[in-house]
Amino acid sequence: MTATSIERPFTVVSLLPHLLDTNGDAGNARVLAQRARWAGRAAQVVDVSTRADLPEHVDAVSIGSGTDAALLPARDALRTLVEELRIWSNSGVPILAVGTGWELLSWGIDLADGAVIEGLGLVAGHAVPRVSRATDDIIVSSKYGRLIGFENHARDYVGAEASPLGRVVYGTGNGDAPASGPQIEGLTMGEVFCTHLHGPVLARNPGLADYLLEAAFRRSGLSYSRGAMATSVDDTAQTVRNQVAVRLGQSAE
């Protein structure tokens, strides 16, 4: 542990929030920063649209979801940051990518009209059109706990079978239930986490948030322990998750 790592604020990069915040996913950056503060560390969110916005140190990265009209401009902007993204993902900086933000990190996106948008190729797999949009609550069983969120996507994701985030208990996830094998949601690769659960996925599922924070703190030689404020806020999140679970015929936790 060095003095500088404590002095400098915990820094979460929010990538392209102007283009990729349709479903409130950029809020995941502020969830990480706030939980770091509640754990006693100064923290900041840095919105990054171009290389010029990049802070010196990066502790965690959040990429949100946008409209299809934003796919190309977002992909082109992300391409200018591909070197950083590769370095971050190879060096264990936690990255959370949601919805189209995830799709852009993949090999590519097949559009309904037959066109293909080449992705950054950072994670395996690609996105393919669905017959109809998946828009509903989603429940996923994962090693970070039962994840409950809302999904809203017009494409499935294929190629994540080797390392999904979890198994779908209710909802669609990466695609409708296959003839054989489990119905899965999301993708993980090292500390890169990709999911369809949009909006405040980390606020509603603090188990996942704290996993990312522990990984990020560890890189600075620090240990993360949940703050007192987080404990009370997480009770609220638990209530929210239970409300959804019970409504969908699952048990409360």
Partner 1 sequence: MKSVKYAPAILIGRAVRVLARWRKPGGGSAIPGVVVNRIAPRFLADTLNGFPLGLVIVTGSSGKSTTTKMLVAVLRAHGLTVFTNQSTANISQGLTSALLERVSLTGYIAGDVAVLEMDEGHGAFIAGSLTPRVVALTNVMVDQIDRFHDSEMVAGLLAKIAARATETVVLNADDRYLADLAHTLGSSVRVSRYGVTADVLAQYPRGLGYADTATARLPSGMGLQLTGMAGRTAEVEFPSSGRHGVTLPARGIHYAVDALTALGAAEATLGESFDPAVACAALSAMPAVFGRGEVVTVGGKIIEFVLVQNPSSFQLNVNSLEAGTEQIIVIIGSDVRDPSYFWPVDTSGLGHVLIASGLKAHDIALQLAYDNVRVDRIEPDVPTALDAFLALPDPASGVKTIIFSADGMRRTRAHLGLVSNAEESV
Alpha carbon distance 56, 200 (integer Å) = 27
Under rule CB under 8 A, residue 30 binds partner 1: yes
Nearest of 197, 214, 195 to residue 94 by alpha carbon: 214
According to CB under 8 A, which one of 86, 118, 236, 246 is a site residue for partner 1? 236
Under rule CB under 8 A, residue 130 binds partner 1: no
Contact 204, 149 (CB under 8 A): yes
Q: Tokens for 54, please give them.
A: 């990049």
According to CB under 8 A, which one of 27, 101, 125, 173 is a site residue for partner 1? 27
Under rule CB under 8 A, residue 31 binds partner 1: yes
Q: How far is the CB of 82 from partner 1 (least distance, A)?
A: 25
Under rule CB under 8 A, residue 9 binds partner 1: no
Under rule CB under 8 A, residue 216 binds partner 1: no
Under rule CB under 8 A, residue 237 binds partner 1: yes
Q: How far is the CB of 35 from partner 1 (least distance, A)?
A: 9
Q: Which helix (H) or strand (E) holds 72?
A: helix 71-79
Under rule CB under 8 A, residue 67 binds partner 1: yes
Q: Which helix (H) or strand (E) holds 134?
A: strand 126-142
According to CB under 8 A, which one of 69, 115, 131, 179 is a site residue for partner 1? 69
Alpha carbon distance 162, 231 (integer Å) = 34
Task: Return the DSSP state at 162.
Answer: T
According to CB under 8 A, which one of 5, 141, 152, 183 is a site residue for partner 1? 152
Contact 187, 176 (CB under 8 A): no
Under rule CB under 8 A, residue 76 binds partner 1: no
Site residues for partner 1, 84-103, by CB under 8 A, read none
Alpha carbon distance 80, 163 (integer Å) = 27
Site size toward partner 1 (CB under 8 A) is 30
Under rule CB under 8 A, residue 25 binds partner 1: yes
Q: How far is the CB of 99 from partner 1 (least distance, A)?
A: 10
- Radius of gyration of the chain, Cα coordinates, nearest whole angstrom: 17
- Residue nearer to partner 1 on the CB measure, 33 or 123: 33
CB-based contacts of 47, cutoff 8 Å, min separation 6: 14, 17, 18, 53
- Residue nearer to partner 1 on the CB measure, 96 or 122: 96
Task: Return the DSSP state at 128.
Answer: E
Alpha carbon distance 136, 153 (integer Å) = 10
Residues that bind partner 1 (CB under 8 A): 21-27, 30-31, 34, 67-70, 133, 135, 150, 152, 198-200, 203-204, 229, 233, 236-237, 239-240, 243
